[in-house]
Amino acid sequence: MSTWDLSTVRHHVLICNGGSCMKKLGDETTLAIRDEIAQHKAEGLIHTTRTRCNGRCEDACVVTVYPQGIWYKEMTPELGRRLVREHLLEGKPLEDQMIYSYETSFVPTGKGRAGVSRIKQ
């Protein structure tokens, strides 16, 4: 068990470790992201959490970054390392992998599957 001081954290990265994402390199991507953070000694800036299913299984492996509210699809260990370097440390999101950004609600980029609407007609 851990209780981290989050007062220096700029990014919270949620890495999906649900069943579909684990079949698409979820564990390897988690370890690569955490290793890249450690190599840059950025543990105080970036907090990571393994999650259960995020409800976007066709986009596995899914990684989300808060507070920006950016959702990424089809992440791999190498893309996870780029995520740390380019988005989290340099402020340049990985545009090709982005499926949602956030304004007052999530905004689809058009690069992910449409998904099933929950709005009842």
- Residues that bind ligand FES in the complex, under the rule CB under 6 A: 16, 18-21, 53-57, 60, 62
Looking at the Cβ atoms of 54 and 87, the one nearer to ligand FES is 54
**Least distance CB 27 / ligand FES (angstroms):** 12
Can you tell me which residue has the tokens 């066709």?
58
**Least distance CB 18 / ligand FES (angstroms):** 3
List C-alpha distances in Å: 92 to 18, 32, 82, 86: 27, 19, 10, 5
**Least distance CB 80 / ligand FES (angstroms):** 14
Looking at the Cβ atoms of 20 and 101, the one nearer to ligand FES is 20
DSSP per-residue string spanning 49-118: EEES--S-GGGPSPEEEETTTEEE-S--HHHHHHIIIIIIITS---GGGEEEEESSSEEE-SSS------
Looking at the Cβ atoms of 37 and 62, the one nearer to ligand FES is 62
Residue of this chain nearest to ligand FES (CB atom):
18
